[in-house]
Amino acid sequence: MKIDSNGSEYRDIWVLAELVGDDIHRVTFELLGVARNLASKLSKVKNREEEVVCVVLGSGLSEESRKRLFAGYADKLIIVDDEALRVFNDNIHAAVVSRLVRKYRPEVLISGATSRGRSVMPRVAVEVETGLTADCTGLDIDEDSGLLLQTRPAYGGNIIATIKCENYRPQMSTVRPGVFKLPEADFSRTGVVVQEELTEEEKVSRLRVLEEQTIEDATVNLSDAKIIVTGGRGVKGPDGFKVIEEFARAIGGAVGASRAAVDSGWISYAHQVGQTGQTVQPKIYIACGVSGQIQHLVGMQSSDFIIAINKDSEAPIMKLADVAIVGDLFEVIPEIVKLVRRDDELKKAV
Amino acid sequence: MKIVVCIKQVPATTEVSIDPETKRLVREGVEIMMNPFDTYALEEGLLLREAHGGEVIAISMGPKRTEATLREALACGADRAILLNDRVLGGSDTFATSYALSRAIAKIGNVDLVITGKQAVDGDTAQVGPGIAAHLGWPQAAYVSRVIESDSKHLVLERMHETGYDVCSLELPGVITVLKDINSPRVPTLKGRLASRKASINIWNASAISADLTKIGLNGSPTRVVATRSPDARDKHTIILDGSPEESARELVKILKQRIKL
């Protein structure tokens, strides 16, 4: 919505919660922590109290979940509880969020840059006519204008851009999961609950979710993984990936793959890291038998700590890595796994 | 089935630079290519046309040299191509871009399905596909990895998310954004290449699509890039372990323990 004067009718920082089944996705708590920080800064600039509002669309949100959201620094919950919201439907979710935005006029609206967040937020932005910045890795409030400063990588992380949305509200961003630290929960906090209803019109959708297939295996979920062990061409075949998988399980990580490995049919596309796969940013990225072509590097170079295992000490990945192990992955990995399994301290930590 | 495939021309490298004055990407002298995800979008369009008849229309927005990328789409088998080209469209963000594309789709008329790639590899936003759907008021399915069933009225498809798949039914007209996994794009035939060189590409400007000038270009874009910088340089110090596998493993586990504690 385009603002005419100073836009003072817009207030508060909204976080769109993401539910996974009956549970709340970790990114929601990361965002509430960020939102708390933004709200404090914005309160100072505007010289009035700005709140953190968490919008929850779902079915049967438990009392326990409400408590956790307040403990995670939400001041207010806007809950829309309806059976039609049990599964994720871009169209229904976007319609509801858009209506709430028009009704309450938030200053800022953020969600996780998950596949769901990135499906629903562009729809909301268009429906309410405002800007949206994708996959942010930094959010701040400008101390003079009170505007949201949105930082994001582009061109595979080779450029970091700061983006503003000056004349439209709300200022909207999707935020990359795992970038912001989880704030410590404070269970002494309480807050206000506002219930909203889904309208009959909103329940009608030309998209229907017929079936949900959840893969329980944690080695598949790259975006939530703190550690990713990736296999490349050097893994040599599907059997080689068993070694990678064993390594990942031993240290509590997910399994990644280079494009070469996926295109050879050694492992499914859900594991592909890189330009035509997923962009990941784990705490520890371990590349095994990956040469490190630029299309792969752009998908993982923002990882906090990079370990490479490769026979070729001159491979590009070895130059990017914090730790470069020169050697045969089939000899090195079993040794690592052996040590990890023996190490009680490490076993507990993962 | 009348299918529109949206295609973006992107730099063939990620080693890009920014003009310090305009804060725009330096595009001169940079090699270009079709956005990789769009090659899958195009292939899916061609497969659906082969199954149901109809036509595939490739559409792009950009400067004149974008014609080269549209010709590639024609060489692969698209029936015709449209380029949105107008100075007033320059500087459009995802809101303005998806608006302009939705206007063009409305002008084409009677479109059943719009297919885009999951995202463009330069901007990485993944916002234009859903944006088009919202501007048109059509349903959408993003991150589609498989079309299971299709007829002239609906698609049954699989969309991927972080922890699995949803099987969805999408009533047409609608918009889908596709992943790499969905198909294997064909290579243009020599005949196709030759024909594409002679094919004429429709050039539409802002008035041809009856665009509201307050919703396009830099002025119609809600977001603005206010600063760009290079990413923080990584700590260049690489620890090299090149001893025996046992030694390297022992050293690495020590380092892993420290990192995991952090």
Of the partner residues A126, A211, A319, the one whose CB lies closest to the CB of residue B134: A126
- The total domain count for chain B is 1
What whole-number distance in Å separates Cα of residue B192 and Cα of residue B207? 32
Q: Which of A171, A276, A338 to mutate to probe the B interface, most B CBs <10 Å?
A: A276
- The total domain count for chain A is 2
Same structural domain, A336 and A253: yes
pLDDT at position A97: 98
Q: Is B113 on the interface with A (CB under 8 A)?
A: no
pLDDT at position A224: 85
A154 closest CA partner among B125, B30, B78, B262: B125
Q: Is B249 on the interface with A (CB under 8 A)?
A: yes
Domain membership of residue A237 (yes or no) is yes
Q: How many CB pairs under 8 A join A and B?
A: 272
pLDDT at position A153: 87
Same structural domain, A197 and A257: no
Domain membership of residue A61 (yes or no) is yes
pLDDT at position A338: 94
pLDDT more than 70, % of chain A: 99
Same structural domain, A287 and A239: yes
- pLDDT tens digits, A113-171: 999 999 999 999 999 999 999 999 999 999 999 999 999 988 777 788 999 999 999 99
DSSP B54: -
At which residue do the structure tokens 């999961």 appear?
A: A177
Segment holding A93, helix H or strand E: helix A90-104
pLDDT more than 90, % of chain A: 85
Same structural domain, A69 and A165: yes
> Are A298 and B250 in contact (CB < 8 Å)?
no
pLDDT at position B14: 64
- pLDDT tens digits, A336-345: 999 999 887 7
Identify whether the C-beta of residue B255 lies closer than 8 Å to the C-beta of residue B239: yes
Q: Is B31 on the interface with A (CB under 8 A)?
A: no
- The residue range of the domain holding A297 is 227-349
> Are A343 and B131 in contact (CB < 8 Å)?
no
Last residue of a domain, one of A203, A237, A270: A203
Q: What is the pLDDT along chain B (262 residues), one digit of tens a residue?
A: 999 999 999 988 766 666 666 666 676 778 899 999 999 999 999 999 999 999 999 999 999 999 999 999 999 999 999 999 999 999 999 999 999 999 999 999 999 999 999 999 888 899 999 999 999 999 999 999 999 999 999 999 999 998 899 999 999 999 999 999 999 999 999 999 999 999 999 999 999 999 999 999 999 999 999 998 887 777 668 999 999 999 999 999 999 988 887 6
Q: Is B178 on the interface with A (CB under 8 A)?
A: no
**A338 to chain B: which residues are within 8 Å by CB?**
249
> Are A118 and B252 in contact (CB < 8 Å)?
no
Q: Which of A130, A325, A333, A343 to mutate to probe the B interface, most B CBs <10 Å?
A: A325
Of the partner residues B145, B228, B249, the one whose CB lies closest to the CB of residue A339: B249
Does A210 score more than 80 pLDDT? yes
User: Mean of the pLDDT values across residues A214-226?
Assistant: 85
Q: Is B163 on the interface with A (CB under 8 A)?
A: yes
Identify whether the C-beta of residue A36 lies closer than 8 Å to the C-beta of residue A53: no
Domain membership of residue A217 (yes or no) is no
We report the CATH number of the domain holding residue A260 as 3.40.50.1220
> Are A127 and B134 in contact (CB < 8 Å)?
yes
Alpha helices in chain B (DSSP H): 36-52, 67-76, 94-108, 128-136, 190-198, 245-261
Domain membership of residue B15 (yes or no) is yes
**A331 to chain B: which residues are within 8 Å by CB?**
245
pLDDT at position A282: 94
Does A317 score more than 70 pLDDT? yes
- The residue range of the domain holding B177 is 2-215
Q: Is A19 on the interface with B (CB under 8 A)?
A: no
**A162 to chain B: which residues are within 8 Å by CB?**
225-228
pLDDT at position B163: 87
Q: Which residue of B has its CA nearest to A174?
A: B125
Last residue of a domain, one of A169, A203, A237: A203
Domain membership of residue A7 (yes or no) is no
Q: Which residue of B has its CA nearest to A294?
A: B14
SS3 labels along A271-328: HEECCCCECCCCCEEEEECCCCCHHHHCCCCCCCEEEEEECCCCCHHHHHCCEEEECC
pLDDT at position B7: 98
* Cβ neighbours, 10 Å, residue A71: 19
Q: How far is A190 from chain B (nearest CA, A)?
A: 31
Same structural domain, A190 and A57: yes
Does A214 score more than 90 pLDDT? no
Q: Is A284 on the interface with B (CB under 8 A)?
A: yes
Of the partner residues B121, B131, B169, the one whose CB lies closest to the CB of residue A122: B131
Q: Is A167 helix (H, G, I), strand (E, B) or coil?
A: coil
Same structural domain, A151 and A237: no
Domain membership of residue B248 (yes or no) is no
Using CB atoms and an 8 Å cut-off, which of residues 93-132 of chain A contact chain B? 94, 114-116, 118-123, 125-127, 129-132
CB under 8 Å to A331, separation ≥6 — which residues?
B245
- pLDDT tens digits, A12-46: 999 999 998 778 999 999 999 999 999 999 999 99
pLDDT at position B182: 96
Identify whether the C-beta of residue A215 lies closer than 8 Å to the C-beta of residue B168: no
Domain membership of residue A210 (yes or no) is no
pLDDT at position B15: 66
Q: Is A152 helix (H, G, I), strand (E, B) or coil?
A: strand
β-bridge mates for residue B34, sequence order: B9
> Are A164 and B226 in contact (CB < 8 Å)?
yes
> Are A119 and B142 in contact (CB < 8 Å)?
yes
User: Mean of the pLDDT values across residues A291-307?
Assistant: 91
Domain membership of residue A219 (yes or no) is no
